[in-house]
Chain A
Amino acid sequence: MENKKRYERPVVLKQFSGFMNKFGSRPTTATRTEVDGIPVNELVEKYGSPLFVISERKIRENQRRANRIFKTRYPKVQFAWSYKTNYLNAVCSIFHQEGSWAEVVSGFEYDKARSLGVKGEHIIFNGPDKDKPALRRAISEGSKIHIDHFDELYDIIEIAAELDKKAIVAIRVNMDTGIYPKWDRFGFNYENGEAKQALRRIMTSPGLKLTGLHTHIGTYMMSVDAYKLAADKMVELAGWLKKEYDHILDYIDLGGGFPSNNTLNGQYLPAEQILPTLEQFADAITTSLLELPYPKDELPVLFLETGRALIDDAAHLISTVLAMKRLSDGRRAMIIDAGVNLLFTKFWYKHQITPAQDGGMMTEETAIYGPLCMNIDVMAESITLPVMKKGDKVVIDYVGAYDMTQWMQFIQMRPNVVMIMEDKSIELVREAESLEYLATNEKLPEKLRNFKI
């Protein structure tokens, strides 16, 4: 018995000749048996599968690096954590411990930040949907409201008068930065003069105090020039305010949008080979801002609402192979217990999926499907993997941004989320959902309670 050989499924692979891929292919026999120093099997044994695993160390490292990059180029920099990117309390709290403010885009997110202990004055309130109760709270707590449209501007004027309190505001500006698609649905347009029109209205409203300008030119931006252009236009607007009203701004907010190293669907080369570095983005932005016609000691604070680039690589999703099967054309297919219900970003990213155990040298082209009984649940159309079997584990990287906020309770419930702390202890930061949890808000009318089948 002890002399038996290690078993691996018998495999025959057809060799295809044809055009070579001039870039070669990624080595796919690599395995990842640990996540942030903790064995994958240990994590699954204790917390089940699928399982989101977040690294405290990595988040802090990312934020400190970003601080360093921007603060060595510009004297005043303040990050605000983008709640929508990942609003797990544990994640937000790390960013707040690192000194970041909160950037929220709804009344619910606003309340979440407040309940974590963030003061109103340290909240940036963005987004097109700020209802009156939320605005009332934001104005009375002195948070920075970034106005999206004229209807909101008039709501704020009205509430400020009602509360007899000055509302602290900025406007969101949209502009042509040469990128497609143009994000012109948020805020006031720069080119057609709407932004200046809104600023004029604010400057002549006694209940409003204009403290900043905000823009957010897009998401997963791959162009440094677009940020340079955006910063130039903000500088022009700030200069105009100074000239026209002798008004000095407290801050200029360049939003977020820096990409993570996750590779987009349809992108041929891995992201890290084609994306600009954070340093390049920082150079572009800060070079423009330093041109501001302000006295040097009155330069505005540069606000950044970076989300994705700070969290994406700090989280991983562990998943278990449920079954191996063949497709009609003979291709290998693998079903895993994590699908698009958990990985919403699958619709635009080609995530890196790595086996969590040693496989043989033989590799197979494999399609990976999630557990949903839905045709859309495709995790990878075709990926080269070593020979795998039911029960094996895979680790999916770059799942920190948007997955833990856009995930769906659909067919399956959302699983445990754990955080590996800096001292390598493991904390459960969000418990797996249960039927009871789901039923909490459901009401079943009396007449529907009984049936005979």
Chain B
Amino acid sequence: MRQFEVPAYAAVSDTGFIFLGNSGETFNLNEIGKEIFDLIRLKRNTEEVFKEILENYEVDRQTFERDFEDFINRLLSYGLIKEI
């Protein structure tokens, strides 16, 4: 189980637009990406994120696991989240 946090300089709008205050970089999230990002902001661990998504979306665990790994790797490489 892993736990991440969103740095304080990352501002997110309701539509999934992210602005990084420290670099001026901007990003876009799709709907489910925004939902996961919000859960991370709320300090949910990965197991809790999985539970939430699998309950609400038409997706099996294996498919989501694969996509989640890739998504988290992108967020980490862009500095949008940090592992704690």
Contacts and interface: CB of A to CB of B under 8 A. Distances in A.
B42 interface: no
A12 B29 contact: yes
What's the dominant secondary structure at chain B's contact region? helix
Contact of A7 (B18, B25, B59, B71): B59
B6 interface: no
A9 B67 contact: yes
Instruction: Tell me whether chain A's interface is mostly helix, strand or loop, or mixed.
Output: loop
Contacts of B64: 7
A387 interface: yes
B15 to A, nearest CB: 11
Contacts of A13: 27-28
A326 interface: yes
Contact of B28 (A7, A15, A389): A15
A357 to B, nearest CB: 15
B56 A11 contact: no
A429 to B, nearest CB: 37
Interface string A4-36: 111111111111000000000000000000000
A11 B30 contact: yes
A12 B32 contact: no
A330 B77 CA distance: 9
A75 interface: no
A6 B71 contact: no
B74 A12 contact: yes
Nearest to A5: B57
Contacts of B33: 10-12
A360 interface: yes
Given A10-B67, A14-B78, A326-B70, A4 B56 contact: yes
A9 B73 CA distance: 14
Given A12-B29, A12-B33, A15-B28, A4 B70 contact: no
B71 A11 contact: yes
Contact of A12 (B57, B58, B78): B78
A163 interface: no
A362 B58 contact: no
A12 B58 CA distance: 20
A14 to B, nearest CB: 5
B59 A12 contact: no
B11 interface: no
B71 A15 contact: no
A6 B30 CA distance: 13
Contacts of B75: 12
B31 to A, nearest CB: 7
A18 B42 CA distance: 34
- Which of A9, A15, A389 has its CB near the most chain B CB atoms (within 10 A)? A9
B30 A10 contact: yes
A39 B32 CA distance: 29
B68 A12 contact: no
Contacts of A7: 32, 57-59, 63-64
A406 B59 CA distance: 42
A326 B77 CA distance: 13
Contacts of A10: 29-30, 32-33, 36, 67-68, 71
Contacts of B67: 9-10
A112 to B, nearest CB: 48
Contacts of A12: 18, 27-29, 33, 37, 71, 74-75, 78, 80
Interface in B40-70: 55-59, 63-64, 67-68, 70
B28 A5 contact: no
A13 B57 CA distance: 21
Contacts of B59: 7
Given A10-B32, A12-B27, A12-B78, 8 more contacts: A8-B32, A9-B70, A10-B36, A11-B71, A13-B27, A326-B70, A330-B74, A362-B30
9 contacts: A7-B57, A7-B58, A10-B36, A10-B71, A11-B29, A11-B33, A14-B27, A15-B27, A361-B30
Interface of A: 4-15, 326, 330, 360-362, 387, 389
